[in-house]
Amino acid sequence: MFKGKKIALYVTGGIAVYKVVDLMRELIKNGAEVRVAMTPSACEFVSPLTFQVLSRHFIYLNTFEENDPEVVNHINIADWSDLALVAPASANTIAKLSAGLADNFVTSALLATTAPVFIVPAMNANMYKNTVTQENIEKLKNRGHYVMTPDKGFLAEGYEGEGRFPEKTRILDELKLAMRDQDMRLPLKGKTIIITAGGTKERIDPVRFISNDSSGKMGHALAEAAWRQGATVKLITTSQLETPGYIERLAVESAAEMYNEVHTLFKEADALVMAAAVSDYSPKNVEKKKMKKQNELTLELKKNPDILMEMGRIKAPQQCLIGFAAETDNIIEYAKEKLTAKHADLIVANDVGKTDRGFNVDSNEVTLVSHTDEPKVISLQEKSKIAREIINWLIEYYN
Ligand code: C5P
C-alpha cells in the first residue's frame, strides 16, 4: 500500500524521535518515498544526518534556508506529498497546529498542505491527559486529521502512563486504514464480506482431533485483498496466522463453530467467500477425557453441515457466494457440478494433487468457474496475487 506513496515525515521534539528512524526505514522498505522535515527540538534528540543518510535526501530544517531559487521548500514539500505524517507529535506542535501557527518549517508546511494529515502523539502522560492537549487533539480530529492514541506503558520518566510512542506495527496498520478510508473511489466501499479460512479441527477427545492440511494462507490473503479494495472484512478463521489490526477476526475451531459464525453474520453480508477447508465429518461422540490406548479403535463419524450449501439455500439474489474446490482430477467438471449444487456464483478450483500449489504452500494456481464466463485459469503465483484476481472477479460481478 505504501508503494510509490510520497510521504512527508514531520519530526518534532521528543525522546521517541529515535523510534521514528526505524519507522521511516520501514516505510522506505515498503516502497514509499520519504522526505523529512524536523523542528529544532527534534534535532536535539537525533541528528538530521541520520535521517538524511537513511532517506537519501537532505532534511528540511529552516524555513528561510532556500537552496533552490526555483522553489519555496515548505510549500514544495506540502504540495509534493500524498500524506503528511507527524511523528512523534509533541504537545507543543499539536497546540501550534490546532491554533494554526506557522513559526517553523514543520508547522509552516503543515499549514500549507492539502494532503491527509496523520498524527502520532508521544509525550509525558500528564501532558497528554492535560485538558488543553485533549482539546487541541479534538480540534485536529474535527478538522479531519487522523490522530492516533499513544500506547500505555513504561515512560522515559520512569513511571507508567499513557503517552508512549505506539508500536511500529500498530502505526503501520492504522496508517493503512487511514489511507484506505481517504480513498473514496475504492470499488468495495460499503460492502461487507465474510471470508472463512483454514482447516477445521474436529475433536476426538481433549487432546486429539481430525483435521486437514489447509494453512489458512489463501483465506487470509483474500481478507487482505478485499480490505484493500474498501470492503469491511470479517475473517472467520481456524488458522494461527497473524492478521492486521484492521481486519475483524473471529477465531473458530470446528465446522459447527464456523457454521454458527457464518450463519449469524451472513444476513448482513454482501458476499461470502468459503476458502476454509471444512471437514466433511466429525466424531459422533467427543470423549470428555483423554482416551486410553487400545489395540483397535473404531471412530464413528457424523456428517458436518455443508456451510456453503446451506448459505446457498438461504441467500438473497444480491448476495454473492464464492466456494473453493480442492480436487486431484477432473477439476473443471467437478467445479461446474459444485457451482450448481451449492447455488454458488463462483467456484475457485485448485489442483491439490501437486506439491507446489494449494494446501500449506505460498503459491497456487486456480481456475475460476462461474455461470457466465468461460473457465479462467490464474497461473501459478503467490497467493496474495491470486487473492487479488479473485477479488477483481467479485468487483466485476458487482459491476
Ligand atoms: O463439497 P466440497 O467440500 O468439495 O466443497 C468445497 C467448498 O465448500 C469450499 O468452499 C468449502 O469451504 C465449502 N464447504 C463448506 N462446508 C463443508 C464442506 C465444504 O462450506 N462442510
Specify the residue with its C-alpha closest to ligand 1, atom 9: 324
Q: Which residues line ligand 1 (CB under 6 A)?
A: 255, 274, 276, 278, 280, 304, 306-308, 323-325, 338
Please, what is the angle between helix 168-182 and helix 17-29, to 10°? 60
Whole-prediction pTM value?
0.84
Which pLDDT value is given to residue 270? 98
- Note if 126 is an active site residue: no
Q: What is the mean pLDDT of residues 172-201?
A: 93
182, 217, 243 — which closes off a domain?
Answer: 182
Handedness of CA 187, 218, 325, 260 (dihedral sign): negative
State the distance from the centre of ligand 1 to the C-alpha of 307, rounded, in angstroms: 7
Q: Which of 308-312, 353-357, 371-375 has the lowest mean pLDDT?
A: 353-357
Domain hosting 28: range is 6-182
Q: Are residues 148 and 258 in the same domain?
A: no
The percent of residues in the chain predicted with pLDDT above 70, rounded, is: 98
Residue 274 predicted with pLDDT over 70: yes
Task: Tally the residues of the chain.
Answer: 399
C-beta of residue 218 within 8 angstroms of C-beta of residue 175:
no
Within a domain: 49: yes
Helices (H), the chain: 17-29, 40-45, 48-55, 73-80, 91-99, 105-112, 125-129, 131-142, 168-182, 217-228, 255-266, 307-314, 331-341, 383-398
Adjacent-strand bridge partners of 85 = 9, 118
The model's confidence at residue 185, banded by pLDDT at 50, 70 and 90, is: confident
Which pLDDT value is given to residue 46? 98
State the distance from the centre of ligand 1 to the C-alpha of 86, rounded, in angstroms: 47
Which pLDDT value is given to residue 298? 93
**Mean pLDDT taken over the chain:** 95
Residue 355 predicted with pLDDT over 80: no
Q: Are residues 379 and 255 in the same domain?
A: yes
Which pLDDT value is given to residue 90? 98
Which pLDDT value is given to residue 125? 95
Within a domain: 259: yes
162, 182, 202 — which closes off a domain?
Answer: 182
State the distance from the centre of ligand 1 to the C-alpha of 359, rounded, in angstroms: 15
Which pLDDT value is given to residue 362? 83
Which pLDDT value is given to residue 326? 86
Burial of 283 (0-12, 13-18, 19+ CB in 10 A): middle
CATH of residue 81: 3.40.50.1950
Ligand 1 nearest atom to the CA of residue 280, by list position: 21
What is the tens place of the pLDDT at every residue in 101-132?
999 999 999 999 999 999 999 999 999 999 99
The three cell numbers locating residue 259: 457454521
Residue 356 predicted with pLDDT over 70: no
Residue 357 predicted with pLDDT over 80: no
Mutate-to-test residue for ligand 1 from 211, 274, 351, highest number of ligand atoms within 8 A of CB: 274
Q: Are residues 40 and 116 in the same domain?
A: yes
State the distance from the centre of ligand 1 to the C-alpha of 364, rounded, in angstroms: 18
Adjacent-strand bridge partners of 36 = 9
Q: Are residues 166 and 108 in the same domain?
A: yes
Within a domain: 362: yes
- 97-105: long-range contacts, CB 8 A cutoff, minimum separation 24: 97/136, 97/140, 97/145, 98/135, 98/136, 98/137, 98/139, 98/140, 104/39, 104/40, 104/63, 105/37, 105/38, 105/39, 105/60, 105/61, 105/62, 105/63, 105/73, 105/74
Q: Are residues 168 and 301 in the same domain?
A: no
CATH of residue 346: 3.40.50.10300
Q: Are residues 177 and 266 in the same domain?
A: no
Q: Are residues 246 and 381 in the same domain?
A: yes
Q: Are residues 205 and 168 in the same domain?
A: no
What is the tens place of the pLDDT at every residue in 214-262?
999 999 999 999 999 999 999 999 999 999 989 999 999 999 999 999 9
Q: What is the mean pLDDT of residues 29-46?
A: 97
The model's confidence at residue 93, banded by pLDDT at 50, 70 and 90, is: very high
Please, what is the angle between helix 105-112 and helix 91-99, to 10°? 40
Within a domain: 334: yes
Q: Are residues 129 and 178 in the same domain?
A: yes
The model's confidence at residue 328, banded by pLDDT at 50, 70 and 90, is: confident
Q: What are phi and psi of 333, to 5 degrees?
A: -60, -50
Within a domain: 258: yes
Structural domain tally of the chain?
2
Q: Are residues 259 and 384 in the same domain?
A: yes
Burial 194-232 (b: 16+ CB within 10 A, else e): bbbbbbbbbebeeeebbebebbbbbbbbbbbbbbbbbbb
Q: Are residues 148 and 202 in the same domain?
A: no
Residue 311 predicted with pLDDT over 80: yes
CB atoms within 10 A of CB 16: 26
Ligand 1 nearest atom to the CA of residue 348, by list position: 10
Specify the residue with its C-alpha closest to ligand 1, atom 5: 325
Q: What is the mean pLDDT of residues 279-308?
A: 95
Q: Are residues 255 and 364 in the same domain?
A: yes
The model's confidence at residue 11, banded by pLDDT at 50, 70 and 90, is: very high
State the distance from the centre of ligand 1 to the C-alpha of 47, rounded, in angstroms: 58
First to last CA, the chain: 24
Q: What's the CA gap between 259 and 239, in Å, rounded?
A: 16
Within a domain: 1: no
What is the tens place of the pLDDT at every residue in 377-392?
999 899 999 999 999 9
Q: What is the mean pLDDT of residues 340-355?
A: 89
The model's confidence at residue 360, banded by pLDDT at 50, 70 and 90, is: low
Which pLDDT value is given to residue 200? 98
Within a domain: 290: yes
Active-site residue, selected from the candidate residues 212, 285, 350, 364: 212
DSSP classification of residue 46: S
Residue 30 predicted with pLDDT over 90: yes
Which pLDDT value is given to residue 155? 84
Mutate-to-test residue for ligand 1 from 195, 281, 315, 324, highest number of ligand atoms within 8 A of CB: 324
Which pLDDT value is given to residue 299? 94
127, 158, 182 — which closes off a domain?
Answer: 182
Within a domain: 257: yes
